[in-house]
Amino acid sequence: MTVEERILELLIGPQHPASGHMRLVAKIDGDIVVELRPNIGYVHRSVEKLAEVKKYLHIIPLVERPSLADTTANNLAYVMALEKLLGIEAPPRAQYLRTLLAEINRIHSHLYGLGIHGVMIGSSTAYMWCFGDREPFIEIAQELTGARLTYSYIIPGGVRRDLPQGFEDRVEKVLRYLENRMKDYFDIYFNNPVTRARLEGVGVLTKEDAIKLGVTGPNLRASGVPYDVRKIEPYAAYPELDFEVVTREEGDALARVFVRIGEIQESMKIIRQVLKNIPEGPIFHEKYVKMVPPKLREYMKETGEVKFPGTFANLRVPAGEAISRVEGGRGEVVFYLISDGKSLSPYRMRMVTPSFRNVILFEHLTKGHRVADIPAIYGSLDYFPPEADR
């Protein structure tokens, strides 16, 4: 038999229990993957083109939709680019609230990723636990913003709502709950000999390759590159907060899992600091507060809910271009905005999500591994097809 005759082409997806909205075209020789090509685009919704016909404020919900589990990162990155063009900066309290939501979102995004990874290697318990324990964080995010996943909380010049009454105590309860649960996770899943056997040494990404391929997020940090936008180019309230960048040297699937766990713990630390140090003050830029009618201004003061000034409907943005980056749960989100200063929509918006930058890893990491390792590697990347397709 020649080599060609031995090779079987396996189409994994888009209708496959573990493929997600994508197709993996695998060429296998026996049980060994010779080549694997991701075929993406099944959930492409042309966010970049739609942004050119929508007004600036309407784009906020639009950019959130692709990465449903990690919406705050896109929301924040877009608004940061917009604020750079507008030349305004949100008041300190709003910056802290942005950080708070970003970290809550990071925790539940990581739990989502860990859960999916769990079921991909066959642990339905890890899946159910992660999705169950994601719930309290979604609940507190809902209390803060009014929505479970698509928050649209961050707006140019500030945030939409202030902290609710007694929020700190409820957050503390949730954090303590997850800290206790983490022990169970280690007992039954992370330190499970079968989990270890499936993940250790699987899909090793060396530091050189990680840098060369431009991957991002926990996948990069698991290969020993301490790159975290929150430290490199601090935004929101991160300059004033104390936290560590979690890195591992091994670069295998297990290291990526442990980086996520470490980041969950760091995020809990950040949330506690934010709630302790949050300054008093406005949550919306005073330039815009002035434009709100006095009656509604009263209402804003009473309820802590921001009413949009009339100018937001047709927000005019000066000509120019801006690039912003944010460290989301899955990695670095980059927004590049060009405004021509004339129209009410961006001239060009470029949105590069972490999953789109990590898609290159599929073909790189799976070569030479077994068929059963494909889901183990896929899950460890925390790859989310709609986010990559945008």
* Element holding 130 (H helix, E strand): helix 124-145
Contact between residue 201 and residue 46 where contact means Cβ atoms under 8 Å apart: no
User: How many helices, marked H, and strands, marked E, lie in the chain?
Assistant: 18, 8
C-beta of residue 263 within 8 angstroms of C-beta of residue 246: yes
Report whether the peptide linkage leading into residue 218 is cis, meaning its omega lies within 30 degrees of zero. no
**Are 315 and 128 spatial neighbours (Cβ–Cβ below 8 Å)?**
no
| Using rule CB under 8 A, residue 243 touches other proteins | no
By CB under 8 A, residue 211 contacts other proteins: yes
Task: Please state the closest distance from residue 55 (CB atom) to other proteins, in A.
Answer: 12
Site string (28-67) toward other proteins, x via CB under 8 A:
---x--------xx--x-x-xxx-xx--------------
Q: Which of 7, 138, 192, 243 binds other proteins (CB under 8 A)?
A: 192
Q: Which is nearer to other proteins, 48 or 89 (CB)?
A: 48
344 binds other proteins (CB under 8 A): no
User: Shortest Cβ distance from residue 212 to other proteins (Å)?
Assistant: 5
Q: What share of the chain is helix, strand, coil (3-state, %, to 5)?
A: 50, 15, 35
Tell which one of 7, 88, 225, 275 touches other proteins (CB under 8 A).
Answer: 225
Number of residues in contact with other proteins under rule CB under 8 A: 67
Contacts of residue 65, Cβ cutoff 8 Å, sequence gap at least 6: 45, 47, 71, 150, 386
Pick 32 or 68: Cβ nearer other proteins: 32
Q: Residue 300 has which token pair?
A: 């804003």
6 or 301: CB nearest other proteins: 6
Segments of 20-100 assigned E as strands: 23-29, 32-39
Question: Applying CB under 8 A, which residues contact other proteins?
Answer: 8, 10, 16-18, 31, 40-41, 44, 46, 48-50, 52-53, 118-126, 128-129, 132, 188-189, 192, 194-195, 197-198, 210-215, 220, 225-227, 232-233, 323, 325, 332, 334, 336, 338, 347-348, 350, 352, 356-357, 359-360, 370-375, 389
